[in-house]
Amino acid sequence: MKFTFKNIGKYLSVILMSGGLFACSEDIMDDINKNVDNAHDVDAKFILTDVITSTAFSNVSGDFNHYFSSYIEHEVGVYNQLWNAETRIQEVYSSTTFNNVWGNLYSTLKNARIIIDKCSDTGTQPGNYTTKGMAEVLAAINSALITDAFGDAPFSEAALAKLDNGKPQFMTPKIDTQKDIYTGIINYLDAAIEDLPKGDTHVTGGPDSQDILFGGDDKAVDKWLKLAYGLKARYLMHTLNKAENQTEVLNEVLKCIEKSAQNADEQATFAKYDGSSNKNPCYDFFDSREYLAASQSLFDKLNERNDPRISRVYVTALDKNSKGRQINNKDDESLLLAPNGKPVQEQRKYSTSIFGFASDAPTHLLSYHELLFIKAEALIRLTRKDEAETALKDAIKAAFANMEISVASGLKQTGYAITKNSSAALTASDAENYFINSVKGKFDADPLKETMIQKYLGMWGSNGETTECYNDVRRLQAEGKSLKDFYGFKNEGKFPLRAPYGGDEVSSNPNVQKAYGNGQYVFTEDVWWAGGNR
Amino acid sequence: MVSFIGMKSQEVAIKPVVNVTLKSDTELLDEVVVTAMGISKEKKALAYAVQDVKGEQLTQAASTSLSSALQGKVSGVDITPSSGMPGASSQITIRGVRSFTGDNTPLYVIDGMPITSAADIDTDTRNTGSVAGADFANRAVDIDPNDIESINILKGQAASALYGMRASNGVIVITTKSGKGAAKGKPTVTVNTNLSFDKVSTLPEFQKEFAQGLNGEFNPTASTAWGPLISELANDPKYGGNTANEYTNNGANLHQGQYYVPQRAAAGLDPWATPRAYDNAKNFFNTGISWSNNVNVAQAFDKGYYSFSLGNSTSDGIIPDTGMDRYNVKMNATANLSKNWTTGFSGNFITSKIRKQSSGNEGVVATVYGAPSSYDFNGIPSHVEGDPYTQNNYRTSVFNNAYWATENNSFTEQSQRFFGNAYAQYKTNFGTENHTLTAKYQLGADSYSTIYSDNYGYGDFSYKSGYSRQDDYNIIELNSLFTLSYDWKINDKLDMNILYGNEFVDKSTRITTAEGYNFNFPGWNHISNASVFQAEQKTKKKRTVGNFANLSLSWNNMLYFNATVRNDIVSTMPRGNRSFTYPSVSLGWIFTELPALKDNEVLTFGKIRGSYAEVGMAGEYFENQYYVPGYGGGFSAGTPIQYPFGSVTSYIPYYKIYDPNLKPQNTKSYEVGLDLAFWHGLVSLNYTFSRQNVKDQIFAVPLSTSTGYNEMITNGGAIHTNAHEITLTFKPIDKKNVYWDFGFNFSKIDNYVDALAEGVNSIMLGGFTTPQVRASIGDKFPVIYGSGYLRNENGDIVVDEKGLPQAGEPQVIGKISPDFRLGFNTTLELYKFRLSAVLDWKQGGQMYCGTMGVLDYYGVTQRSADYRKQESFLFELPAVKDNGDGTYSPNDILIKGENAYDYFNAMNGIDEASVYDNSFIKLREIALSYPIVETKGLNISANVFARNIIIWSQLPGLDPEATLGNNNMAGAFERFSMPGTSSYGFGLTFKF
């Protein structure tokens, strides 16, 4: 073959053709790159389920509950990070401490807002008002968890439902004031109260069994509505000291409580734990870490009241085979309480509360006993003492019944063998007797103090209520009640007034970085509703 | 195999075959190397740095792993093994890194076809920051060094430009034994067998004086050895046989000279033991045995040649129940069908099984190193009597008893793989003298499936009622390659070559994962015994279409110019951003061809070269998606919440989002170099300086989490690398019966992080919250970050009132990359003996060694005992004390020996105290071979070898190359890592 330019042309066309054979259009490439393993959109109800789970497991009863139990002496941190928190070093002001819960809260809030967005008139499931109302309730809870713990925080530019061309609308959300966030919270609840009864009218239907809080049956909507009212009572109480007309607010609180849960069956509680594949977060924390032990100051309060709970709620330090036994009574020689603020950093030295063993106890988003305690407090503040006394007595009864569920859970779990003592489960009449013999006198002497102490004792447990109790303590402290005299706290260290911002946010959002500074503000700056200004 | 280029015929007759190749290696001038896309070029024509290693050099010390066989033998290449365990992962990077969190390892091209070499599973994602679980091998583990004819390393982007995006980390071009050049007629059979013995390379020095306990008191379940003297145990008030206590029935049943050991009682042994010290670590490790065999048959015919080989390698590691079995089958054949047509194929089948154990926070060695010497760790059964699933250990928390773990937990990888290709080639000169056109089409496949099986037995510390996870990876990659090459000798002085190519790569991955939690009953550690199940399936497809062209011009054997351009279209990028084009140019000038310098007897060869190249690296873009959320991490030891709840599950938006404007990250690099040879190769020197500027890295940029999302895959950041590489070889003696050569491979690679994404100051590569390995702006890549010593404004360490150091703010506490690496190779032949050695020196760089800090804190080290026995001591670093009035004076606060525990406790709380200089020198290889039989029909040679037998290191007691992570944190972070090993062995080679 002779080499000519004609031939070159022939070869070139072969080249180009072969190139063309293997080329690919954008459509084909899109098809190749399609992720077939994941859904790209789902109905709101499938999101709702995890908004409920994460609110309960990660946000209400997660790291907030663990650390705050050291702050307010429900428990004592005896090892590693919790010992550090107990002794008020680093963990208390470090941005790493609450980083996980920070991220979880905003992720949950965003997911709740996506549901609201989907079920709005302009969304993909317009007409699903009830589902929207549920998401509004959950958005309110998570917003309140954010601002109660962190104070001023990203809100209006944060956790938004929609992305802007694949990116968050605000890469570094600004900080909103707690006051503004509280306006948002009440708005969410008011919207929920309006939306919940309107039904789910979109063709995709309501959440049914995806509503794992109340089961999605025909009574569920009513319970959600009761939760919305109950939460409104709680959050109005949080901001009571900021109200211009406190009496008006307190009456509003009582009205809300009337429309909220009327018994424990109606309370908002996350009861999906089975103790093995799904674990109560307090149990999971104990089981994973063994960082908490029984608090001396809390025991002192029980002991001072000759409280029958003493023979129910304590367990000896575990032995090397991870076995323990229920403490018999206050004189049990194996009862070794951890001194608040100064425990020896050692595991399995001190007795523990039984609540860390309650592997399938539920997490309360809002318990019936909390509502009764709020009612009692509101009545006292309205100087309706007799009614308050009844409410408090009911609250204690409900709290006893609630505690026994956790005790039973702790005794029956199989990870650690806990030998029962001979005491019987406390009944309503035990609570009645306790009230008459131990509480009444103290109540008569100082009704607010005894109510708050009983609330403090009643919300100690496995149900994640320490998180809310920390708000009470700070609110009362802001009213001038001394932690030592009023609450009987014994930790000599500095009391943290709030949680430091999350580390991922501090390192990537200059607005929050500036607010965080060196983190020492947690010791000096009250949140807005506790009289502070940030 | 014999390379037939550059050989001197008179020497062939009298030297063993093996030597010829080595000799030709030193005469680099006319040597032909395989560069990109199968192009063979004379080495002198290259205007960028490449370095080749012959098969014999790789196998001289019988390494069964390619990466360990390469250590110390090339410059510009960092090889970071994770441990000495069989099948252990090893990270190879060439001229530093280009990506923060992505793959920085080179492309492997075997017989003209790229194959997968990276690990399927990144320990960072799987083992929560690489600090738990077992290692995961990289797929380069499938390569048997015995099959390799030669390796050529394309270091810079100009060298690898034709391979496109995948080659931005450099290329390791492997040519396997093909039978080319084999004797015609009778087949040549080569049988090679090696047996080697491994032992733990180094161990910490353990104290044997003090018993388990704390504050001088014996405590049989303490994790520490700050107890009384072992010799005093019989007098212990609580457990002593000489005293009245619970166990002696208040003195009624004294056991003179003995003490009560609760673990012996639990195991059903006589609880009374005579106090003594045990060598717990030494007793734990076995002698590992590796046996490798390779049979090769090669034959040439008039119209073709073939090579067939069968290899196996069986290793048992030094830790019980660890090891690797690998079988390799390989066939290459080439047939010359006619004057114009050639066809051939290359096929490899590999099957392997790797047995591993866990490291880091689940490290089996934690209790091996941590066991107090008073405890008979080896003698006391690891479980309680009658119940094999309740551990019996010297301590009660956190770590598994190592014996129990190796018996009850298993971590395996089983892999089957085929890769190979077939080609047809048409070559014509159009009946002319000066035109040649070659068209070649090659179709290849790389297909493997690997089953990763992790089984935590019932009774494990992390998973109390057991856990089983099975991952099945199925990966198929098809590779179609068409090249058309045209050579034109334009005139006597000017040559031109034009190449066009099209590459089409289709890769599909399917991963099926099954997990089972909470076994119903002990004794059957199997997923079928689980009570909670989870399953997942992931599929991924990827297509790359590359079109490329190359133009080479050479003038008068003096000037060599090369230019390339390549366009890639990649499916994994977002629509509209899929197509990228990159150029490269290079120019080499052999100035010794100038008439004035030609035939100079001193400087016999000299070349100056320079190149510039750009290359991109694609990322992985997906549409935003929903997923079933997982729970765990934080304080949770396991998985506290698992969907579905009954039949109810949930889907939420993925925490990671993808930037639809993602563009490829871009590397711009240039290099300049000099190649000199003196006295016809007696001394030769290659020097290369290269600079890479990489920007727009694709990585998961941490977001403000208040956005509701955690991270976004987007572009951000910049990193640059300056690299100096020197190869210097000497051949001082080349006589008939004496031959000696030696050479140095020097690399100095400095990687600096210039920028990360906006608002991001650091990216975590692995480790804990503190300490961790991270990339941070302005620092060398990567660094160790963690709590430093508390320092005052002057930077002096401030001790507290007890004289103890204190923890300060988290900060950068160590820089990992070394100042330089220097490999030294030598070969000495004396009559028929051949001695070769490789030394490897790493200078500078630091590592976090958590184990030593913890062991001091446990009080099991000799160092801790030495401090304890002193009357008093000072904190060992220069420090100051706070005078309380804002002034400081030099630290003179003595710490009493009896408070040594407080000292090591304080030190253990400061991450910086566990950062060590990572300089070391290792005698990588030393081997001696001798031909026992040399007849016409049979050659038998014997060899003895040793690897990694001598280590001079700044790190006391542990191998500086035993670290966590199979990713970019490799070599930086140690905490109960798998140990390093030293090997000794011998082998025989038969050839007939």
DSSP, residue by residue, B112-126 = TEEE--SBSS-HHHH
Residue A432 lies in a domain: yes
Q: Which helix (H) or strand (E) holds B856?
A: helix B850-858
Q: Which residue of B has its CA nearest to A20?
A: B502
pLDDT of the residue at A6: 52
User: Half-sphere exposure of residue B579, counting CA atoms within 13 Å on the CB side?
Assistant: 9
The answer to whether the Cβ–Cβ distance between B706 and A209 falls below 8 Å is: no
- Beta-bridge mates of residue B973: B848
Residues 6 or more apart in contact with residue B211 via CB below 8 angstroms: B218, B225, B227, B228, B229, B230, B232, B233, B275, B372, B374
DSSP 3-state helix, strand, coil percentages of chain A (rounded to 5)?
55, 5, 40
Surface of B (695-724) touching A: CB under 8 A: 702-710, 712
Same domain for A150 and A19, yes or no, is no
Residues paired with B450 in a beta bridge: B415, B473
Alpha-carbon span B3 to B180, nearest angstrom: 9
A28 and A54, same domain (yes or no): no
Q: Compute the distance between CA of residue B147 and CA of residue B178 in angstroms, rounded to an integer.
A: 9
Judged by a CB distance cut-off of 8 A, whether residue A37 touches chain B is: yes
pLDDT for B988 equals 96
Per CB-CB distance under 8 Å, the chain A contacts of B636 are 284-285, 288
How far is the C-alpha of A343 from the C-alpha of A295, rounded, in Å? 10
Interface check for B4 against chain A (CB to CB < 8 A): the answer is no
A225 lies in the same domain as A102 = yes
The segments of chain A whose pLDDT lies below 70 read 1-24
Residue B665: CB partners within 8 Å, gap ≥ 6?
A: B98, B99, B616, B617, B619, B694, B695, B696, B697, B698, B715
- Number of CB pairs, chain A paired with chain B, less than 8 A apart: 239
pLDDT band at B540 (very low <50, low <70, confident <90, very high): very high
One domain, residues A8 and A92: no
- Bridge pairing between strands B603-617 and B579-590: antiparallel
Q: For residue A314, how many C-alpha atoms fall within 13 Å in the half-sphere facing its CB?
A: 31
pLDDT in tens, B820-864: 999 999 999 999 999 999 999 999 999 999 999 999 999 999 999
Cβ–Cβ contact B633 with A under 8 A: yes
- A231: CB partners within 8 A, 6+ apart: A137, A140, A141, A144, A189, A366
Q: Is residue A290 part of a domain?
A: no
- What number of CA atoms fall less than 13 Å from residue B409's CA on the CB side? 32
Q: Which of B51, B73, B55 is CA-nearest to residue B145?
A: B55
Last residue of a domain, one of A200, A234, A253: A253
Indicate left, alpha or beta for B979 from its phi (over 0: left) and psi (-120 to 50: alpha).
beta
Q: How far apart are CA B129 and CA B137, in angstroms?
A: 16
Q: Is A2 on the interface with B (CB under 8 A)?
A: yes
Please tell me the total number of residues recorded for chain A in this structure.
534
- Find, among B97, B26, B235, the residue nearest to B717 by Cα: B97
CATH number, residue A243 = 1.25.40.390
- Structure-block tokens of residue B653: 């938006």
The reply to whether A162 and A206 lie within a common domain is: yes
pLDDT (tens digit per residue) in B125-160? 888 888 989 999 999 999 999 999 999 999 998 888
pLDDT in tens, B464-479: 899 999 999 999 999 9
CB B109 within 8 A of CB B346: no
What integer pLDDT is reported at residue B637 of this predicted model? Answer: 83
Of B435, B650, B758, the CB nearest to A49: B650
- Supply the pLDDT for residue B14: 38
**Residue B572 contacts A where some CB pair is shorter than 8 Å:** yes
Percent of chain B with pLDDT over 70: 97
| Structure tokens that stand for A9 in this block | 């042309």
Cα–Cα separations (whole angstroms), residue B777 to A435, B753, B774: 63, 5, 10
Look at residue A11 in the predicted model and tell me its pLDDT: 55
Question: Residue A420 falls within a domain, yes or no?
Answer: yes
Q: Is there a domain that residue A370 lies in?
A: no
Task: Considering only residues B40 and B238, tell me which one the structure prediction assigns the higher pLDDT.
Answer: B238
Within this chain, do residues A306 and A247 fall inside the same structural domain, yes or no?
no
* Nearest chain A residue (CA) to B807: A90
Residue type, B175: T
Cα–Cα dist B805/B877, whole Å: 9
Tell me the C-alpha distance between B727 and B722, whole Å: 17
A18 and A61, same domain (yes or no)? no
Measure CB to CB from residue A57 to each of B631, B702, B762 and give the nearest one.
B631
Side chain identity at B110, as an amino acid letter? Answer: I
* Residue A139 placed within a domain: yes
In a domain, A161, yes or no: yes
Give the pTM.
0.87
Residue A471 covered by a domain: yes
- Here the tokens at position A394 are 């009911």
Using the predicted structure, report yes or no on whether residue B6 has a pLDDT greater than 60.
no
Boundary (domain end) residue, out of A223, A253, A283: A253
Q: Please tell me the predicted confidence (pLDDT) of residue B397.
A: 76
- Give the residue on A whose Cα is nearest the Cα of B622: A35
pLDDT value of residue B936 = 85
Which residue in A111, A347, A504 is closest to B705 by CB distance?
Answer: A504
Residues 199-228 of B with CB under 8 A from A: 221
Cis peptide before B660 (omega within 30 of 0): no
What is the C-alpha to C-alpha distance for residues B329 and B348, in angstroms, rounded to an integer?
A: 6
pLDDT at B38 over 80: no
Question: Could you tell me if A49 and A179 lie in one domain?
Answer: yes
Interface of A with B in 452-481 (CB under 8 A): none
Of residues A174, A33, A163, the one with CA closest to residue B656: A163
Give the range of the structural domain holding residue A116, as residue numbers without chain letter: 44-65+80-253
pLDDT digits (tens, 9 = 90+) for B782-798: 999 998 999 999 999 99
Q: Do A171 and B645 touch (CB under 8 A)?
A: no
Distances (CA, A) of B102 to B92, B99, B105, B355, B523: 13, 5, 9, 27, 41
**Above 0.90 for ipTM, yes or no?**
yes
Distance from C-alpha of B726 to C-alpha of B728, rounded to nearest angstrom: 6
Residue A40: list chain B partners with CB under 8 A.
623-626
Q: At what angle do helices B850-858 and B900-908 cross, to 10 degrees?
A: 150
Q: What is the pLDDT of residues B424-457, one digit of tens each?
A: 999 999 999 899 999 999 999 999 999 999 999 9
B81 upstream amide cis, omega within 30 of 0: no
State residue B15's pLDDT score. Answer: 37
Q: Name which of B705, B712, B713, B776 to mutate to probe chain A: the one with the most chain A Cβ atoms within 10 A of its Cβ.
A: B705
- B792 token code pair: 């005052």
Residue to mutate among A11, A17, A35, A285, with most B CBs inside 10 A, is: A35
DSSP-derived secondary structure for A144-170: HHHHHHHSSEE-SSSS-S-EETTEES-
Say what the pLDDT of residue A15 is: 52
Question: Does one domain contain both A220 and A107?
Answer: yes
Closest residue on chain B to A110 (Cα): B708
Answer yes or no: do A115 and A167 share one domain.
yes
Share of chain B above pLDDT 90, in %: 83
Residue A520 lies in a domain: no
Contacts of B164 in chain A (CB under 8 A): none
A67 DSSP 8-state letter:
H
Say whether the peptide bond before residue A362 is cis (omega within 30 degrees of 0): no
Q: Is the pLDDT of residue B1 over 80?
A: no
Q: Give the Cα separation of A134 and A55 in Å (integer).
A: 13
Show which of A478, A495, A517 is a domain's final residue.
A478
Which amino acid type is present at position B931? Answer: P
Q: Are residues A196 and A94 in the same domain?
A: yes
How many beta carbons lie within 10 A of that of residue A109, not counting itself? Answer: 29
What's the domain count of chain A? 3
Instruction: Identify residue B596 by its one-letter amino acid code.
Output: A
On whether both A104 and A244 belong to a single domain, the answer is: yes
What does the pLDDT read at residue A25? 86
Please enumerate in sequence order all residues whose Cβ is within 8 A of that of B544, keeping only pairs 6 or more positions apart, or say none.
B164, B165, B166, B503, B504, B505, B568, B569, B570, B571
How far apart (Å, rounded) are the C-alpha atoms in residues B561 and B611?
10
pLDDT band for B5, please (50, 70, 90 cuts): very low
